[in-house]
Amino acid sequence: MIYSAPEQLSSPSSVPVTLPGNNLFRLTAFLLLAVALALAGCSSDPPGKGQKGGSGKNAAVAVTTALCRSKDVPVIIEATGRVEASATVGIRSRINGTLDTVHFTEGQEVQKGDLLFSIDQRPYVAQLKAKEALLAKDRAELANAKKDLDRYLPAAKNGYVSQEQADQAATKVTSLAATVQADEAALDSARLDLQFCSLSAPFTGRAGEIQADAGNLIKANADTPLVTINRISPITVAFDIPGKELTEVQQYQAKKALEIQVKLPGKDGGTASGTLSFVDNSIDPATGTIRLKADFTNTGGALWPGRLVAISLRLTTREAAMVIPSQAVQTGQDGAHVYVVRQDSTVEYRQVVPGTKSGSETVIEEGLKPGERVVTDGHLQLVDGGKIEDRTANQPADQKAKGRKRGGS
């Protein structure tokens, strides 16, 4: 049987059709109810916790602390220095010749006066003999000319010879005397050349790399030295400090010799002590620093030319200064500050005036008193008045007990 459309809608056995608008309204109402229930559940406090506790202000922050203490602190200027030989010389030949013998090894410590190089002497021995022979010849001629002059002078007075002949004899004596002087100077030069065939160490020091071997032709005053010798005992360390600190250095240097400590290389190298020996006569306008030097005995040879070392220039000792660990000092927009621990295990934000540093500690000029405890680690979560839990390893036992009691109350 075929029904018409109106008959299908009016039939009791047919499924009623709900309009789309009604379903959308019911779905929207259901979602709004679910969101409201969820928000109500999130805003409800856990059992036994009030609104103040929920804000997190009572949560203790784990920190480590340290005491502000009074002690004598050395006033030190720290810098990085470079080790330099106290004296350096490049050994060069003053004559041309063939290198005959090398009398030392590379890297050897040589003493003042030790023979280093020998140049073939034979050409210079021959020159010396020739100069000696020429001098002997001219001296003989001079002696003969003087005898002639001694004969001509009386003869000229008596009229046996002319005055012109006597004058010529005198001129010859003068000329030969000058020739003899030139020969003596040439002979001295030849003797020096012969001495220059032997090259010796001008001072005690450490020899470097040898630049020529036996048999090489050596040129006089060559650009490259045969070897370079560095004096390393004593030795010098050069370093730069800010020009603004020059006045203070001069002030203390006028009273006494200033001590300088250098950290020796190596894991357990220790330190070496020296004395400030040089202050440059001008401040570098490009860097605003001034060059200083210190001398060290360097008996053991621990300091080596060219090495970079940490320098500590000690100016004076400040007595009874207040110090705290440097990590306790924080820097913000309003300057340096610390967190001071109160008796009730809360902290106080306090501004301070830091001074010089001494090792891992900083001198506090203003803002703290000896015996006050400051936070050294855990600053990020701290606020003024916030609670803390002190977890310092060396904290006194009674303070730990008080902290646990306050935390439990």
pLDDT, residue 189, reads 96
C-alpha–C-alpha distance, residues 163 and 32, integer Å: 150
> How large is the average pLDDT for residues 363-380?
92
According to DSSP, the β-strands at 69-91 and 308-325 are antiparallel
pLDDT tens string 17-69: 444 445 555 666 666 666 555 554 444 444 333 333 334 456 899 999 999 99
**In this structure, CATH architecture of domain 121-196:** Orthogonal Bundle (1.10)
Q: Which pTM does this prediction carry?
A: 0.64
Q: Which residues contact 338 (CB under 8 A, 6 or more apart)?
A: 324, 328, 329, 330, 350, 352, 367, 368, 374, 375
pLDDT, residue 45, reads 44
The string of DSSP codes covering 354-385 is EEEEETTEEEEEES--TT-EEEEE-GGG--TT
Domain 58-91+233-409 bears CATH identifier 2.40.30.170: yes
Would you kindly state where each structural domain of the chain is located, as residue ranges? 58-91+233-409, 93-119+200-224, 121-196
pLDDT, residue 33, reads 64
Does residue 359 or residue 216 have the better pLDDT?
216
pLDDT of residue 16 exceeding 70: no
SS3 of residue 314 by DSSP: strand
Which CATH class for the 93-119+200-224 domain?
A: mainly beta
pLDDT tens string 64-96: 999 999 999 888 899 999 999 999 999 999 999
Q: Which residues contact 344 (CB under 8 A, 6 or more apart)?
A: 406
Nearest to 81 by CA among 272, 219, 267, 361: 272
